[in-house]
Chain A
Amino acid sequence: MNKTININLAGIIFHLDEVAYEKFKTYLSNVKTALGKEESGEEIIADIEARIAEIFNLRMKETGAQVVGLADVEFIIETLGQPEAFIDESENEAPKSSSKQTRRFFRNPDEKVIGGVCSGIGAYFDIDPVWIRVLFLILLFFTGIGFITYVILWASIPEAKTTAQKLQMRGEAVNLNNIEKLFTKVEDYTSTEKIKSGVNSFVSFIVNGIGSIFSFIFKFIGVLLAIAGAMIAFTLIVALLGIFGSTWNLDGLNFISLNGYIYGLDGAEAIFGSGWRLLALRAGTLLTLLLPLFALVVFLAKIFGRELTNSKLLSFSGIASFIVGLILIFISAGSLITDFRERATETDQITLSGMSFDITADILEDEQGFFFDVEDELLHIENVRFNIEATRSSTASLELKHAASGRNHSEARARAQSFDYPTAQEGEALRLSEYFTVPKESLYRGQDLKVTLRLPVGATVYLDESIENIMYDIRNVQDMYDGDMLGHQWEMTPEGLSCTDCATIEYYDADDFEESIEENLEEMEESIEEKLEALELELKKLKDR
C-alpha cells in the first residue's frame, strides 16, 4: 500500500504518490524561487502550473492511471527543463546584485540539539557548532550566564524555516545552484564522513579546528561587542533595581549561578529570616527582573529579525510581573518596619589589669564586601566602634555597649543581650575584634556595638594597624586623624591621648623631604656654576682689553 498526496494544480486535483510528490514539491519550489524575482513571477508560475496540469491530465488519460508517479514528474522536468534555464540572466540584473547576500542570524532546525541556537551561530560563523556548544557549556558550568544567554537567544532569534532562510543563515546567495547544493548536501555529508574516517581525518580535523578557531576569534570579537552592549543595557536595568538587587549578591551577575545563590542567601536571610518574607522578597525580585529580560528579548528579536507574534503579551506580562514583583517586595520590606520599632541598650563593664596596653583586633577573613556574614549558625556583624577616653578611676576598664532593635522593648532587650564579642587580655596584649556575633535566629535588627577603653591618666597604649576599621574619632592632643594614630605609642593625659613617639618630622613624608633637599642642593650648585662662568667671561673680556 502506498500513500498518496493530493495536490491542486490550476484548479484540478491530482493524486501523487509519495516519491513523486517529494520530487515534484522540490522542483516546483525551485521554479518558484527562480521566478520569484521576475516582474510577473506569479503569473508565470500560474502559467507553468496550468501547463503541468495539462500534461498530467493528458498522461493520465493516455495510461488510464489514477495516480501521478515518479515517471510523470520526471517527464514534466524533462519537458519544462531545469528552472535555471527559465531566467535570462542578461535581462535580470537583480539576482546578481543580491548574490552578495548578507548573513543573518537564524536558528538551525536541521542540526539542533536543543533549540538550534548553537548550530545557527556555527552556520553564521562558518564553524562547527560543536565549538559553540562547548563554549556555552563552559559558560553554563562556570557562571550560569550560558543558560540565560541561551534562553534569550532562543527567544529572540528566528528559526530558519524556508530554504531561502537556510541559505541566508550560511551567507549564501538565494539562487538555484545553492538550493540544489543544500538539498544534495545530506548525501554528500555521509560520503565525506566515510572518507574522513581514516587517519587523514584526524589531521584535517586538527587543521580545520585551528583554522576555525582563528576565524571564530575574529568574528566573535564583533559579536562580543554587540553582546557586551546588550549586557551593559541589561546590567543597567538591573542596577536600577539595586535596592532589591542588594538582597541578592549581584556581584558579576553571579546570582544566577548556584554558587551565587547560596552566597546571596546570607544577606537576605539575615534580614528577612527564612519565612514568607524571604520567599516574597525573592519571588518579587525574580518577577521584577522579568521585565528587563523580556525587553531584552524584544529588542534582540528586532535586531535578529524575528517577528514575535506575542510581543504584546510579552510586554504586558513583563509589566504585570514587574508590578506584582514590586508589590511583593514592598510588602516584604514593609513588614520589617515593625521589627525596628523599639530599641534597647545593654552595657557590660570589664575591668582590665595593668597600665600599659597593646591593642590589636581580630579581622574577619573571607569578607564578601558585606556588612554581615553567616557562619556556623552565627551572624557576624561588622558594626563595631572603638573609642578611648580618660577615666578618673585608678584602673583601666573596657565598656561594651550593645544596642539592638525589636518589635517591643523586651524583644529588643533580649536581642541586645544575645551579643557575643570576642575580647581577651593577656598581660599587656588587649585583643579586640572588628565584629561581634549574634545567633542566626535573632536576625539583623540594627545591632551595633560601642567599645570604649577607659584609661586612667598616665596609662599608656599602643595602637596596632589591625584596629583601623573599628577606630572611631579618638580624641588626642596632637589632633591627628584616626589612621595616623596607628602604629604609635600613646599616653593618657587629662586633655586626652598624647603621642609619645611621634617626631614632628613625621608630619612630612621622609622621602619627599629628602628629595626636596637634594633638589635644593642641585639648584644651588647650578646657580654657583652659572655665576662662575659669568665671572670667567668678564675676566676674559677684561684681559682682552
Chain B
Amino acid sequence: MKIENTKAQMRKGVLEYCILGILSNGDAYASDIIERLKGAELIVVEGTLYPLLTRLKNADLLEYRWEESNAGPPRKYYSLSAQGRAFQLELKGTWENLNNAVEQLTSTPS
C-alpha cells in the first residue's frame, strides 16, 4: 500500500465537501475555487476539478451562469442550489462528527 494513494483518497473524500463549503460563502468562478483549493493544498492540478464540478452540477447541487470576462472567453460562475445548500449542511454535520470521532480515536488516551 502506497502512502501517496491513501493521502490522495483522503483528499478526494473531502474535496466535494470543500467545494460546497467554498460556494456556501458566496458564488465563485471555477478558477477562484481552484485558487482556494490549491492554496489549501487540497489539489495539485486544475484538471481534477472540472469533471468534479460538472458532476456536482449534474447532480443538481450546483448552478451556474455565464459571465463575460476580459481575460478571455466567458466564464462559468457557480453557486449553490437550494438542494446543494441542504446537502452542504448535512455534510457539515457528518464532517464534524467524523472529525470528533477521528480526534478521539487517534489522540493518546488521557
Contacts and interface: CB of A to CB of B under 8 A. Distances in A.
Interface in A70-123: 78-83, 85-88, 90-91
Interface magnitude class on chain B: 20 to 34
B26 interface: no
Given A43-B54, A44-B54, A47-B54, A86 B48 contact: yes
Interface residues of A, number: 32
B45 A50 contact: no
- Among B12, B50, B75, find the residue whose CB has the most chain A CB atoms closer than 10 A: B50
A48 B71 contact: no
A35 interface: yes
B47 interface: yes
Given A57-B72, A58-B71, A51 B31 contact: yes
B48 to A, nearest CB: 6
Nearest to A42: B54
Interface in B34-82: 44-48, 50-55, 58, 69, 71-76
B54 A40 contact: yes
Contact of B71 (A11, A35, A57, A90): A57
B73 A11 contact: yes
Given A47-B30, A47-B54, A31 B47 contact: yes
A149 to B, nearest CB: 47
B45 A54 contact: no
A54 B69 contact: yes
The 8 A-B pairs at the shortest CB distance, nearest first, are namely: A81-B45, A54-B72, A10-B73, A57-B72, A80-B47, A81-B47, A86-B47, A47-B50
Interface of A: 9-12, 31, 35, 38-40, 43-44, 47-48, 50-51, 53-54, 56-58, 78-83, 85-88, 90-91
29 contacts: A12-B73, A35-B51, A38-B54, A39-B54, A39-B55, A40-B54, A40-B55, A40-B58, A43-B54, A44-B50, A44-B51, A47-B54, A48-B47, A50-B72, A50-B75, A54-B72, A56-B72, A57-B72, A78-B45, A79-B45, A80-B47, A81-B44, A81-B45, A81-B46, A85-B48, A86-B47, A86-B50, A88-B51, A88-B52
